[in-house]
Amino acid sequence: MTKHMQNSECTWQIGGKSLTSRMFIGSALYPSPAIMESAIRASEAQVVTVSLRRQGVNKEAGESFWKIIQELGVEVLPNTAGCHSAKEAITIAQMAREVFKTNWIKLEVIGDQYNLQPDPYETVEAAKVLVKEGFEVFPYTTDDLVVAKRLVDAGCNILMPWGSPIGSGKGLMNPYNLKAIREAFPRMPLIIDAGIGKPSHAVRAMELGYDGILLNSAVALAQDPVAMAQAFALAVEAGRIGYEAGAMQEREFASPSTPTVGTPFWHQGK
Which residues carry out catalysis? 106
For the purposes of burial, counting CB atoms within 10 Å of the CB of 16, is it exposed (0-12), middle (13-18) or buried (19 or more)? exposed
Cβ atoms within 10 A of the Cβ of 250, count?
5
H-helix segments, 133-224 = 145-153, 175-184, 199-207, 217-220
Cβ–Cβ < 8 Å for 205, 192: yes
> How far apart (Å, rounded) are the C-alpha atoms in residues 7 and 126?
38
Cβ–Cβ < 8 Å for 84, 65: no
Q: What's phi and psi for 62, nearest 5 deg? A: -65, -40
Cβ–Cβ < 8 Å for 174, 195: no
> How far apart (Å, rounded) are the C-alpha atoms in residues 38 and 23?
15
Cβ–Cβ < 8 Å for 193, 140: yes
3-state secondary structure of 91: helix
Beta bridge partners of 17: 14
